Each structure stands twice: as C-alpha cells, then as structure tokens.
Structure 1
Amino acid sequence: MAAPLILVSVSPGEQRTALLAGDLIDGDRLEAAFIERPARPEGVGDLHIARLSARAPAMGGAFLAMAGGETGFLPDSEGAKGRTEGEWLRVAVTRAAQGGKGPRLAARPGPEAPQGPPRLLARGPDAPLRLAAQHPEATLRTDHPATAARLRAALGAARVSLSTAPAFDEAVEEAFETLSGMAVPLPGGGRLTLHPTPALLAIDIDAGAAAGGRDAAAHRTLNAAALAEALRQIRLRHLAGAILIDMAGMPIARRRDLLPGLQPHLAADPHLRLVGMTGLGLIELQRRRVHTPLHEVLGDPPSPLTRGLLALRRGVREAAARPGARLALTAHPAVLAALRDWPGALEEFTRAAGPLSLRADPLCPPGQEHVHAE
C-alpha cells in the first residue's frame, strides 16, 4: 500500500485539497476533497470568546453571541448546562453553520475566566493541516510557494514539497469536476444522481443499459458497487443529515441482502450510520454534519463566484503559458460583480499573473467565462 499523498492546489481566492490513497495495482484514489475560500473560512476549529445570550431548554442548550454578530448554539452536553445568561465562555466551533443556522459550539477550558467582548481568539487548522494530522504518514505537495512555507513551518520541511507544475493533474481535476455536479457516472454504465433538499438528501441509482435485463446477479452486483460509490460520494462531498438511497431493479425483499456489505464503507466514515430500510425499500442513513457540503460552497448550479474563481484559476495557467501577454476576463456582469466583492481574489490574480482587464458580456452563458489575451 502506497503512502497517502495530500495535494494542495492554490489559486486566486481558493484553496483545494485532495487526499489520494491507493496501491500499485489500482492506482491512487481520491479519498478526501476540500474546497476552501480563505477570505471567509467555514470556521471549524476556530476558538472564540462568546456571551451566553439566551437559554434554550427545549433544545437542550443555549445560544451564544459571537464576533461579527453571528449566533452559535452550545448544547448542554458541550458545556451549556448550568450556565447563566450574560456569562462569557471560551468556545470552539465543532460544526460549520448550515442552512441559515449558526455554528455548533463546544466549551473549552482556558488559563483564566474569559471576558468580553465577543472575539475570535484563533483560527482552526485548514484542510491540509487537518488531513496531515489524521494521516501522519502522508506527504504533502503544493504548487504555491507561500503555502509550502506555511506548511513546512507547521509540519517540517521533509513532509512538504513545492511543485513547479499544477498540484492537481488531469485525473484529480476531473474528479473535482465530478464533485461540482450532482450526477456521478458509474463504471460499466449507469449513474448516481444526488438530490439535496432542506429536509434530506435523496440518491437515485440508475442502472443504465442494465435496467431492462433479467440477470438478478448482475443487478445485485451493480447495486452493490453503486452503493459503495454512493457512500464514498457522501463522504467526499461532506453531505449530512437524513439520507435515502433508492436502488435500481431489485425487489424490495432482496434489497436487505446488500446491507451487510455496507459495513466496511460505514467503518471508513465515523460520522455515517446505517438506520435501516424503509417500507418502500429505501436505504436510510444519517450523517453528522461537520464541514460545509461542497454543493453549498460551490452552488447548485455553480454560483457566479464559483464560475469566476474557476476562470481566474484557468487564467493563471494561461498567463504562465503566455508570459508578457496582457490578459482580459470576459464574463457575465454577475460573475464580475462577485469577483469584485470577494476579498483578495482579483488582487491575488494580479500578483500571480499580472494586470487583468474585466469585460462584461451580458450574453455570456454560464460556464463560458474565460481569460484571454487582449
């Protein structure tokens, strides 16, 4: 088994991190994926001083006022029990904000009693540092000199290398491209389709060309492989909450036979548990939320900011291939507005690739934004 490799791809306004693990036979496989936007981090692991603003007995906890006007929730089991309104606490963010709700918190001891005002004491580790701690045998490779220096200071020079080529090769780029959409092709045909809603995540297995076949063993094999891939996608995309999976072309009575085969995949994800099977034959799962799901980061469909940052990432490569060329970004006005509003993205592009002219095209369709020579 080859040692895991952590790849860190840095581009204007964004940091993408991939954990690759595998062996010499099957090759490397994407086992973890993070897309972070450092100007506005999700906050998991951040340490705060916050004030208990309201008890919530019915919810088993309390609401805390945090820096920037944000409100977090501290469960009784994590330190809210016995606390009074107006009390100051030192707390850490254990779950990112979601769906209009504030972050989940846990009390943390300190050298002295905390006092106000609400403030951020320290940022938590980003994805490369979290993965490095979880996989101490892994090495890290990045294409960004400042990031390499930061990681070497934290982890030691021996674990971190700086690549002159992009950190992500074509295969990793394709894997991240798949993560940006809700359809996942399956080897041998068929696909998974993910449907996130405010209440739950529904996953449909489409058997493709095998859908009309009568071979029960083939249907079982396809569904078993599709279920394994569905659990992998749930983990890669940081999906959480109630999850239902509909299998393809199997009688309900035979679907239970596939549940024992899920155990190795469940063991790989400590946040995921199998609830059982519904009366309609849907596999029911529940996953604890920690990080922001990728579709909330990227938007579904991709947001103007996501499309703009992608154009900047490609533009940096265009600039490297055409040194000295004056570049322009042609995009829909909404994309350009999102980039102007996002702290640091355009400035980072200028430092990496030189000046960039912005050209608004109201008729530019989504996905057609591009950086080009003037």
Structure 2
Amino acid sequence: MAEPRILVSTSPGERRVALWRDGALQAAFVERPALPDGVGDIHLTRVTARVPALSGVFVMMEGEVGGFLPDAQGGEGVTEGTSLPLRVTRAAQGGKGPRLSATGVPKDLPRDGPPRLLRRGPDAALRLAAAHPAAPVISDHPGEAARLRAALGTPRVQLLPRPAFDEAVEAEFDLLAAAEVPLPGGGRLLVHPTPALTALDVDTGAAAGRDSGAHRAVNAAALAEAARQIRLRHLAGPILLDLAGGSAKSRADLLPALRRAAGPDSLLRVVGLTGLGLMEMVRTRVYPPLHEVLGQPLSPLTHGLAALRRAAREAAARPAAALALRAHPKVLAALRGLPGALEDFAAGAAHPISLISDPTLAPGEDVIEDQPAHAG
C-alpha cells in the first residue's frame, strides 16, 4: 500500500483537505477559516450553571458562546462563577453548543479574567499531518503553503502550480455533498440525516430483478461503502442501516462484515440488529458533519464559495480579465456575510470580482462572466 498524500485545496473563503491513498479518498474536511469548528481550541471559560441531570456544568466562552463541561472531564466539584481553561473536544453541531474538557490543558494557562480564546487548535491539514508523519502535504496556494511549511518544515510541503485536487478528488468531494452514493452492480446507498439520527438505506436498483447472488453482492458492497461514507462525512450519533431485503437471520449474518468495515474508524461502534432488522451503529461526535457545513440541500454560501472557486481558476487562466459573478441574491448575500471571502479573491486576482444580483437564477446556476463595461 502506497503512502498517503495530504492534499490542501485553497480557494476564497474555503479550504478543502483530503487524505488520498491508492486512488481513494481516506479522509475529507471542508473548512471555512472565518467559521472554524473550534475542535482543539483552548478557551478561558466561566462556569454559569451546574446541571445535575446532565452530570456537568454549562460554561460561557468568548462572545457569550455557551458550552458544556461533563463532570467526568473536569467539571465535578466546580461551582458557578469559577474560571477554567478548557479544551474543545466536540464542535458545536445539531443545535448544541461545543463540549469541553479540562484533560490535556497546560497548567500554566491563565485562570482569571474574561472568557477568551487562549490558543487555537490544529486545523485539518495539521491534524492529518500529525496522524500520518510520512505523508507529503501538497498545497496549491502560496500563502497556505507558507503557513504549513512554518508548522511542518519546508521539505514536507509541496506547492503546486495547478489545483491540488484533480478530477478524481473533485468527483469524490462532489459525491460527499450528494444524498445518494452509487454501488457496484447498479445499486445505491441513500443517506438521510435527521436531527435525531442518520438513516442509511440500500436500494438494489438495477440488481432488483436479477438473481439472489446479485442482490447479496449489492448488500455486501453497501456494508463497506456505508462505513466509508459515515467516516468521510463525519456522521455521528445514532446511525441505522437498512439493507435491501433479506431475512433477519441473513442480516444478522452480515454483522461481522459490517464490524470489519467499521474497524478502521475508532469513533464508530456497531451495536447490533434492531427488532426491525436494521443495523444499528453509534459514532462519537467530534467534528461537524459535512451536511451541516455544506447544507442539505446545499446552502447559498456553499454555492457561492463554489462559484468563487471557479472564478478564481478563471482569473488565474486569464489574468487580464475582469470577472463578474451573476447569482441569486441569497448567494451574493451569503458571500458578503462571510468575512474574508471576497477579500481573498481580490488578493489573488488582478481585479476584484463584480457581483450581479439575478433573482431568476436558482442557487447553483451561478454564472461567471466578464464584467460589464460600466461595472466598478
């Protein structure tokens, strides 16, 4: 097996990071630097309330952001008003604030004063670099390459004159944003996150009318792909997998295969088979699931950042061109509301991009065009 590569694709307002090995995606992150997930950050916090029913305390972070400190992670015995330096162990997600811990926090950090950020945690590229110390880090942005070289050393970081993601990687990231994943043999895996749990459904598709062997092959492929998609999408909490057909016994016989597929993911645990014959799993929550980052359906901001990425590549190919983005008003409002996105584009191009509101275009139908002669 070849050594993996860490690919860092940087575009205005966004950073996408992939762990790529042997032609397959092993890990994926989509980060908006202006909206960090905060995992690994260390904050000076203030305890605001004890909640015996939850076995922990609520704390206040910088900007009046609330978080939760379990008793088992250092909250036992602390009282309201106490100031504590704490590390974020789970990002805010699913409408709940971040979870924190006193474990692993350096002893010399401040313990008085207003709540504030004390230290940023590593981003995805640095986390992957630490987990795979032999993997080269490949960036397509001079500023990002310089940042990574300062942290990892110059020899390890390669700067490409072309996009870090080729067509194969781009296709994998497009698939992660979709609600269905094709399976070998003509089937598909449907991914349906809800506030309470994530439901995965196997549809045999073209294999439905064929022999039972083809049917079993689709289910077998679904087990491996389900475990992979759960990991890549950062799905967490309760997860139910509904295979296509089969008796309760035949499904139970497939549990060992699911456990083998889930083995590489230390956060994922296969619980067993429910009374309805659904495969039950649970995964520890750490990073925001991709459907919350990207939106489901895709948010106006996700559409806008994808358009800026296309525009940045067009500007690189035609440096003298002054470009405009024609898009739905919600897309443009989302871009204007994300600090740094439009400034990032202007910093990397000869001309800032002109924004043209067009309510006739649905989000995702954005058009990159040359600026009108009268545009500023």
TMscore range, shorter length: over 0.9
Asked whether the equivalents of residues 47 and 93 of structure 1 are also in contact (C-alpha less than 8 Å), the reply is yes
Q: SS state of the match for residue 208, structure 2?
A: helix
| Residue matched to 2:374 | none
The number of aligned residues is 368
Q: Separation in 1 of the partners of 2:84 and 2:321?
A: 54
Work out which of the residue numbers 252, 255, 262 in structure 2 matches 1:266.
262
CA apart distance, 1:253 = 1.9
Which ranges of structure 1 fall in alignment gaps of 5 or more residues?
23-27
Q: Separation in 2 of the partners of 1:223 and 1:345?
A: 43
| Residue matched to 1:135 | 132
Deviations 1:63-102 (A, max 9, x none): 0011001011000110000111111101000000012211
Structure 2 residue 325 is matched with structure 1 residue 317: no
Asked whether the equivalents of residues 19 and 25 of structure 2 are also in contact (C-alpha less than 8 Å), the reply is yes
Work out which of the residue numbers 143, 147, 150 in structure 2 matches 1:150.
147
Deviations 1:139-158 (A, max 9, x none): 11000111111111111112
Deviations 1:3-36 (A, max 9, x none): 11000000000000000112xxxxx210000000
Structure 2 residue 71 is matched with structure 1 residue 110: no
Q: Separation in 2 of the partners of 1:102 and 1:322?
A: 44
Structure 2 residue 50 is matched with structure 1 residue 59: no
CA apart distance, 1:268 = 0.5
CA apart distance, 1:104 = 0.3
Structure 2 residue 300 is matched with structure 1 residue 304: yes
Work out which of the residue numbers 291, 295, 320 in structure 1 matches 2:291.
295
Work out which of the residue numbers 330, 336, 342 in structure 2 matches 1:334.
330
1:1-374 to 2 correspondences below 5 Å: 1-22=1-22, 28-107=23-102, 108-111=105-108, 114-215=111-212, 217-353=213-349, 354-374=351-371
Q: Separation in 1 of the partners of 2:248 and 2:153?
A: 54
Q: Separation in 2 of the partners of 1:223 and 1:136?
A: 36
RMSD: 1.1
Asked whether the equivalents of residues 183 and 218 of structure 2 are also in contact (C-alpha less than 8 Å), the reply is no
Deviations 1:238-286 (A, max 9, x none): 0001000000132222111111112332220011001110111100000
CA apart distance, 1:366 = 2.3
Kindly report structure 1 stretches of 4+ aligned residues shifted beyond 6 Å. Answer: none
Amino acid at match of 1:312: L
Question: When the two structures are superposed, what TM-score results if normalisation uses the length of structure 2?
Answer: 0.96
Asked whether the equivalents of residues 308 and 339 of structure 1 are also in contact (C-alpha less than 8 Å), the reply is yes
Q: Separation in 2 of the partners of 1:187 and 1:318?
A: 36
Identity %: 62
CA apart distance, 1:192 = 0.7
Q: SS state of the match for residue 232, structure 1?
A: helix
Amino acid at match of 1:37: R
Q: Separation in 2 of the partners of 1:296 and 1:198?
A: 11
Q: Separation in 2 of the partners of 1:112 and 1:235?
A: 34
